[in-house]
Amino acid sequence: MSDVARFYGLQINRSGMACCPFHNDRDPSLKVYDDHFYCFGCGATGDHAGFVAKLFGLSQIEAAKKICADFGIYLFDRQFAVAVDPKVKAECDYRMWLHKASKTISEYLTKLVNWGKVYAPKNFNVQPHPLFVESLTKRDHIEYLANILTYGSDNEKRQLYSSCREDIMKIRERLDKFSAAERTVKRKAI
Ligand SMILES: [Zn+2]
């Protein structure tokens, strides 16, 4: 179940929870068990084929075929990938993006706030640290994005989806680099 869920984009945390793609889920409320999933938010449940069926708007048997095709398992005599309902797929992509974007922006905002304190110049003679400058220049805009992602209307969020997807992806990549660097530092410290 978790292999399938991960393969189709769910981010499962250590306790087996993920943000539910079937409702507007801010904190992970979908639990992935060995053989099924259950969402404590919207009650969505099913096995791995049920998950894929719901995600792509397929019947149970079509979903099973899709999983086989995507995982390179030929149970169905090489019958290939079934067409996915593009509307359902687009909606899922959007929901998945929304979870990721909210997380990214709130992480980045925490960093900006922190940099504003940690790298504040001690006196006016020194060149300010670039991360301090970044904190000053970016914070308003990122607060604005965080606000929309948390409290905005569906329409506003969809507008971000079409206008800011690239930018937020770049922030994500950068944050990932930061945490990779932090992990290295921690390892060295040990
Ligand atoms: Zn749900």
Residue 186 Cα, ligand 1 centroid: separation in angstroms? 36
84 pLDDT band, cuts 50/70/90, is low
Q: What is the torsional sign of CA 136, 137, 138, 139?
A: positive
Cα-to-centroid distance, 74 and ligand 1 (Å): 31
Mean pLDDT of 73-102: 70
Output the pTM of the full model: 0.58
Q: How far is the CA of 93 from the centre of ligand 1 (A)?
A: 15
How high is the pLDDT of residue 83? Answer: 54
Rounded to whole angstroms, how far apart are CA atoms 158 and 44?
24
Which CATH fold topology does 2-71 show?
DNA Primase; Chain A (3.90.580)
Q: How do the domains of the chain map onto residue ranges?
A: 2-71, 86-189
* Residue 111: band (very low, low, confident or very high) from pLDDT cuts 50, 70, 90: very high
Mean pLDDT value across residues 117-134: 90
- Distance of alpha carbon 70 from alpha carbon 4, whole angstroms: 10
Confidence at residue 77, expressed as pLDDT on a 0 to 100 scale: 54
Residues 48-59: tens digit of each pLDDT: 999 999 998 889
Determine the distance separating the centroid of ligand 1 and the alpha carbon of 18, expressed in angstroms: 10
The per-residue pLDDT of the chain, averaged, comes to: 87
Cα–Cα distance, 11 to 64 (Å, whole number): 21
Residue 47 has pLDDT above 80, yes or no: yes
The predicted-structure confidence for 13-42, as pLDDT tens digits, reads as follows 999 999 999 998 888 999 999 999 999 999
Is pLDDT above 60 for 78?
A: no
Q: How far, in Å, is the centroid of ligand 1 from the Cα of 28?
A: 9
At 24 the pLDDT is 86
Give the integer Cα–Cα distance in Å for 80 and 182.
44
